[in-house]
């Protein structure tokens, strides 16, 4: 049996949600081929009472429930794998709206780790003390709230797994995607060359590779400038720094 190069462990109250979309397409084929492995851990298995209670009311009052530190601590301790040297393997991640927003740089950083162990929160979140004790990398998908971390975990792992060696057939496909060069991707076209009176740009039919590459780069710059001024500002700053260096 092939030993997977990348190991994902997900702690959740709903293990049946996995692999979900991760069992299909590129991620699913890579999972079946042993390029990565996925293990789910049911947090309720670490509850300390017959009712398998994992949450309690918040100190100080307020709506909702908070996931107990003793339960989460036991789950992390049992689930975060060790390497051959006895040290914890890879990164521990907690998905929370308070975290750093997931971007391509973070996905690349996680993809070179040997493993990622993901904690999916529920209710109002996790007791701060257990977060202070384990110091996970806190990651958010954006400025919105989900019902739990499971959907975010699936998105995170999809972004990471597709960067693993051998998952995407052509490395050029990864290099030309949005965010890889700090820009959004250029417009894409395929057959037929004319559709409902709309033509494919002539330059893409020219067979002139240098002109095509230049057109695509210009389109990426223009789309990024119009749609994502924040990305555009970072791109321009990086270009200026490179020229100065």
Give mean pLDDT, residues 66-92: 97
The token pair at 21 is: 């979309």
Distance CA 212, CA 208 (A): 6
Contacts (Cβ under 8 Å, ≥6 apart) of 164: 5, 6, 30, 35, 36, 111
Give the pLDDT of residue 1. Answer: 34
For the chain, the average pLDDT equals 93
The token pair at 185 is: 């991707």
Distance CA 63, CA 68 (A): 16
The upper half-sphere exposure of residue 38, i.e. CA atoms within 13 Å in the direction of its Cβ, equals 24
Give mean pLDDT, residues 150-172: 91
- Rounded to two decimals, the pTM is 0.88
Could you tell me the pLDDT band of residue 176, with boundaries at 50, 70 and 90?
low
The domains located in the chain, with CATH, are 6-161 (3.40.1280.10), 177-244 (1.10.1270.20)
3-state secondary structure at position 145: coil
Give the pLDDT of residue 94. Answer: 98
Contacts (Cβ under 8 Å, ≥6 apart) of 5: 35, 36, 114, 164, 165
Give mean pLDDT, residues 223-236: 95
Give the pLDDT of residue 173. Answer: 56
């Amino acid at each position: 049996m092939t030993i997977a190069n990348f190991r994902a462990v997900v702690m959740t109250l709903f293990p049946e949600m996995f692999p979900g979309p991760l069992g299909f397409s590129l991620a699913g084929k890579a999972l079946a081929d042993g390029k990565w492995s996925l293990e789910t851990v049911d947090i309720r298995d670490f509850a300390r009472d017959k009712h398998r209670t994992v949450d309690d009311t918040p100190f100080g009052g307020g709506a909702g429930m908070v996931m107990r530190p003793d339960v989460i601590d036991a789950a992390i301790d049992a689930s975060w794998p060790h390497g051959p040297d006895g040290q914890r393997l890879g990164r521990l991640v907690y998905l929370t709206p308070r975290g750093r927003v997931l971007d391509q740089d973070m996905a690349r950083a996680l993809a070179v780790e040997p493993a990622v162990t993901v904690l999916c929160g529920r209710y109002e979140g996790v007791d701060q003390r257990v977060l202070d004790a384990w110091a996970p990398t806190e990651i958010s998908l954006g400025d919105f709230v989900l019902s739990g971390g499971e959907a975010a975990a699936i998105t995170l792992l999809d972004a990471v797994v597709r960067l693993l060696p051998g998952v995407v057939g052509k490395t050029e496909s990864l290099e030309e995607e949005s965010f890889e060069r700090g820009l959004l991707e250029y417009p894409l076209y395929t057959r037929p060359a004319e559709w409902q009176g709309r033509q494919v740009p002539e330059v893409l039919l020219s067979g002139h590779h240098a002109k095509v590459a230049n057109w695509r780069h210009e389109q990426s710059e223009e789309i990024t400038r119009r749609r994502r001024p924040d990305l555009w500002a970072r791109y321009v700053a990086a270009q200026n720094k490179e020229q100065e260096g």
